[in-house]
């Protein structure tokens, strides 16, 4: 076979140009494209990493190559006549990086439509078979977390990455099609949206030196603004970079509201941070949140929006990632596809928090945590409602005011707020939202109830002083969604580099 020259190739691939003249042009294609039956007869260049290599007694090697564009590999047939067959090709092992030029042919093998007859194989990088951590065997997810920089090369984490990518695209498409404006909210903030206090502090000060200085002068001395930090007694944050205490954001909601109260419909999509010392399969210190805010939306509009978003994500993943979803269904959770299809076709049930409490108390089920009006629901309660009692997604609304944040609108009964949570099987809460409190006096009252200083939120209160508007929004944790879609049991395995207590590697 004449050597195929890849004239539209990158400069680092000049070793492909062995022939004295360009006889034919090879298209640079992904493995996904090369695997399609309509690629048969094309002269192509593929690049990727070796998954396996096995040698035939007939004098050639089968090389499985993957580039991340799809779940499956493309099979390369490399004959012994290739000039670097003995020196390089027979040294290939999992993890090696190669570029292959050749002819796509129909494959006689089962489970694959095509294979590539190699005209040239360039080895970009070898991986020592003895020291490469990803051997051809099963690895525990716990072990793979210790080599998070390499785990995208595995079937599982490549599939997670593609599903995550598809879900993110669906989120943006969903909101853009509905006229929502994408807003970038700050990562560094001085406000606490949730009022929980579990925030990472950002400072340019040497806290140890500042604390020592403060202790030597006067213990507990306040700064010029009267602000104190839990980091140490009397730290003077007026001398810090922002002239005040600053934190990593726990939510972009409050800032997104400012745009919704001017531009109608907005959403933010970015990282958020919680300094909760929680070592559970459901918690991360850094995660991604989708937070729409819409003017003139009431709680029912909010529910419709959340249901529509979830169904759009699930439908798109099922349609666009079939190989990945088949893998998860086969290897991780045999019900994931059926569950997603059922949700896409189902109407989400809406019931009040009070009705849910009655159902739980009358169920006869023994729960670890007691069910009583005024208590927040636990995962076991949420899963009972979605998996056993209703057997479909549930939206709970009208929660007791004492267990919800200050910004949620108080109902006329004075006991509940217009909050809503979307619950799904296996996970429980996947969306949390509310109609926001647009009445200035009640918002200030709610802040004081939760020991928050209204003066610190002067800009947020201005939205109610100047042209207040009914509006609603919610938060959707991306990792919870990916965990639900894939069936992965630990949330640390659906984010590229998990940040948890004691773990900030990579």
Centre a 10 Å sphere on the Cβ of residue 28 and count the other Cβ atoms it contains.
16
Q: Is the pLDDT of residue 144 over 70?
A: yes
Separation CA 342–CA 311 (nearest Å): 10
Measured CA to CA in angstroms, residue 385 lies from 133, 168, 304, 421 at distances of 43, 28, 20, 13
Q: Is the pLDDT of residue 24 over 70?
A: no
**What b/e readout covers 124-157, taking b as 16+ CB neighbours within 10 angstroms?**
eebbeeeeeebeeeeeeeeebbeebeebebbebb
pLDDT (tens digit per residue) in 68-94? 999 999 999 999 999 999 999 999 999
Separation CA 478–CA 499 (nearest Å): 15
Q: What is the DSSP letter of 461?
A: H
Q: Is the dihedral of CA 379, 170, 165, 158 positive or negative?
A: positive
Share of the chain above pLDDT 90, in %: 84
Q: Which pTM value belongs to this model?
A: 0.90
Separation CA 422–CA 307 (nearest Å): 8
Centre a 10 Å sphere on the Cβ of residue 395 and count the other Cβ atoms it contains.
21
Separation CA 238–CA 254 (nearest Å): 24
**Contact criterion met (CB below 8 Å) for 114 and 36:** yes
Q: Is the pLDDT of residue 229 over 70?
A: no
Average pLDDT over residues 345-359: 97
Smallest CA-to-CA distance from 316 within 453, 114, 449, 170 is with 170
Measured CA to CA in angstroms, residue 54 lies from 57, 66, 410, 423, 435 at distances of 10, 15, 68, 48, 61
* C-alpha torsion angle, residues 195, 200, 204, 207 (rounded to 10): 90
Q: Is the pLDDT of residue 15 over 60?
A: no
DSSP track, 312-375: HHHHHHHHH-HHHHHHHHHHT-TTHHHHHHHHHHSPPEEEEHHHHHHHHHHS----SS---TTS
Separation CA 333–CA 320 (nearest Å): 19
**Contact criterion met (CB below 8 Å) for 390 and 349:** yes
Average pLDDT over residues 192-208: 81
Q: Which domains does the chain have, with CATH numbers?
A: 11-125 (2.40.50.140), 156-203+245-493 (3.30.930.10), 204-244 (no CATH)
Q: Is the pLDDT of residue 205 over 60?
A: yes
- Model confidence at 346, pLDDT cuts 50, 70, 90, reads very high
Average pLDDT over residues 135-161: 96
Q: Is the pLDDT of residue 25 over 90?
A: no
Separation CA 394–CA 155 (nearest Å): 33
- Model confidence at 212, pLDDT cuts 50, 70, 90, reads confident
Q: Which two tokens stand for residue 294?
A: 């819409």
Phi/psi for 443 (5° steps) reads: -65, -45
Q: Residue 233 has what pLDDT?
A: 53
């Amino acid at each position: 076979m004449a050597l195929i020259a890849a004239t539209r190739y990158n400069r680092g691939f000049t070793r492909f140009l062995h022939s004295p003249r360009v006889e034919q042009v090879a298209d640079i294609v992904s493995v996904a494209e090369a695997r399609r039956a309509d690629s048969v007869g094309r002269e192509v260049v593929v690049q990727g990493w070796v998954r396996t290599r096995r040698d035939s007694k007939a004098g050639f090697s089968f090389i499985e190559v993957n580039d991340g564009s799809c779940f499956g590999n493309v099979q390369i047939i490399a004959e012994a006549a290739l000039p670097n067959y003995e020196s390089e090709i027979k040294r290939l092992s999992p993890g090696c990086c190669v570029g292959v030029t050749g002819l796509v042919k129909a494959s006689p093998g089962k489970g694959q439509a095509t294979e590539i007859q190699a005209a040239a194989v360039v080895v970009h990088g070898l991986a020592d078979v003895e020291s490469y951590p990803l051997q051809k065997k099963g690895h525990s997810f716990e072990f793979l977390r210790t080599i998070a920089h390499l785990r995208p090369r595995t079937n599982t984490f490549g599939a997670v990455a593609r599903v995550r990518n598809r879900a993110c695209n669906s989120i943006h498409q969903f909101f853009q099609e509905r006229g929502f404006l994408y807003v970038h909210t700050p990562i560094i903030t001085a406000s606490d949206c949730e009022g929980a206090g579990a925030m990472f502090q950002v400072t340019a000060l040497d806290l140890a030196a500042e604390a020592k200085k403060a202790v030597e002068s006067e213990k507990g001395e306040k700064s010029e603004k009267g602000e104190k930090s839990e980091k140490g007694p009397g730290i003077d944050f007026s001398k810090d970079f922002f002239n005040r205490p600053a934190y990593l954001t726990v939510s972009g909601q409050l800032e997104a509201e400012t745009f919704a109260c001017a531009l109608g419909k907005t959403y933010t999509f970015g990282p958020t941070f919680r300094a909760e010392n929680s070592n559970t399969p459901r918690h991360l210190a850094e995660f991604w949140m989708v937070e729409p805010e819409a003017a003139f939306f009431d709680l029912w509009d909010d529910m419709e929006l959340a249901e529509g978003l979830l169904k759009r994500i699930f439908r798109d993943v099922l349609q666009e990632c079939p190989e990945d979803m088949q893998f998860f269904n086969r290897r991780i959770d045999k019900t994931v596809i059926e569950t997603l299809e059922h949700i896409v076709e189902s109407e989400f049930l809406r019931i009040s928090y009070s009705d849910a409490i009655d159902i739980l108390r009358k169920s006869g089920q023994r729960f670890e945590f007691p069910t009583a009006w005024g208590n927040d629901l636990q995962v076991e309660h949420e899963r009972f409602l979605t998996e056993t009692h209703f057997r479909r997604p549930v939206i709970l609304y009208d929660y007791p005011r004492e267990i919800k944040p200050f910004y949620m609108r108080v109902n006329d009964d004075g006991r509940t707020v217009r909050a809503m949570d979307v619950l799904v099987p296996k996970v429980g809460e996947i969306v949390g939202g509310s109609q926001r409190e647009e009445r200035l006096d009640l918002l200030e009252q709610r802040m004081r109830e939760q020991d928050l200083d209204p003066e610190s939120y002067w800009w947020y209160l201005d939205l109610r002083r100047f042209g207040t508007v009914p509006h609603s929004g919610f938060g959707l944790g991306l990792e919870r969604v990916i965990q639900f879609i894939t069936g992965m049991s630990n949330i640390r395995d659906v984010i590229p580099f998990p940040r948890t207590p004691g773990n900030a590697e990579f």
